[in-house]
Amino acid sequence: MTAQLESSPVTSVSVELQHQIEQYLYQEARFLDERRFEEWLDLFSDDTYYWMPTRGVRYERELDKEFSRRDEVSHFDETKRGLEERVTRIRSGMAWAEEPPSRTRHMVHNVIIEPGDSPDELLVRCNILLYRGRLDRDVDIFVGCREDVLRQSEDADYGWLIARRSIYLDQTVILAKNMSIFF
């Protein structure tokens, strides 16, 4: 295990690990933007859990109820198999929301790494900005943050697997006709 934890006022990881994880996230974004979905799927562990809650408008005193809970409804509530089904759908040639395909650009920022629950895991937070162009004129912009659990794996091509992903968008009413893309 080479989590390379360090202790400093602003980060608990080494420059090398920070660099490695950021490059990993950029590579992942590239797979999505180049529609290399099968390679993207390989970045997820078999027991992965991919989740995006819904969000409502609440006053400050009830802000803890802003996001739906795990046992409530969500935008994404996916196992590995669920993600594979979504890719199967996109590849069918009949997924009209993605045929013709969307053009996406995933931007990943503000990567902060913390120790995970077990020695081979890291908790990786980042901000995302996702631009989607569709057909002639459709434009959607999604902004939010992700919380990933990355698990170190010798078998994985890129050294790490995404064992859990939570995505928190900064929209309540989603201002798009669909979310046929990945985050």
Partner 1 sequence: MDISDLVDVQQGTLDPRIYEDEEIYQQELKNIFARCWLFLAHDSQLPNRGDYVTTYMGEDPVLVVRKRDGSVGVFMNQCRHRGMRLCRADAGTAKSFSCSYHGWTYDLSGNLVGVPSEDDAYHDEINKEEWGAIKVAKVDSYKGFIFATWDAEAPSLLDYIGDFRFYFDAFADRTEAGTELIGGAHRWVFPANWKFAAEQFCSDMYHAPISHASAVLALTPDDQDVDEEVFPMDGTKGRQFSSELGHGTGFFVESGDVLANIVGQKPADWFQGGNPEAIGRLGEARAERMRGAHATLFPNFSFLPGINTLRIWHPKGPNEMEVWAWTVVDKEAPADVKEAQRVGTGRTFSVAGLFEQDDGENWSEIQRVLRGHIAKKSSFNVQMGLGHETYEDPDFPGKINRVYCEMAARGFYKRWADMASGQSWDELMASVQKAAEASL
- Interface positions with partner 1 (CB under 8 A): 52-54, 56-59, 62, 65, 68-69, 71-78, 82, 85-86, 88-90, 92-98, 172-180
Q: How far is the CB of 32 from partner 1 (least distance, A)?
A: 15
* CA–centroid distance for 47 within its chain: 15
Contact 28, 42 (CB under 8 A): no
Q: How far is the CB of 59 from partner 1 (least distance, A)?
A: 5
Q: How far is the CB of 83 from partner 1 (least distance, A)?
A: 11
Q: How far is the CB of 139 from partner 1 (least distance, A)?
A: 12
Q: Which is nearer to partner 1, 75 or 159 (CB)?
A: 75
What are the backbone dihedrals phi and psi of residue 39, each rounded to the nearest 5 degrees, phi first? -70, -35
H/E run at residue 89: helix 80-91
Q: Which is nearer to partner 1, 1 or 63 (CB)?
A: 63
Q: Which is nearer to partner 1, 52 or 113 (CB)?
A: 52
Contact 151, 163 (CB under 8 A): yes
How many Å apart are CA 64 and CA 16, to the nearest integer?
36
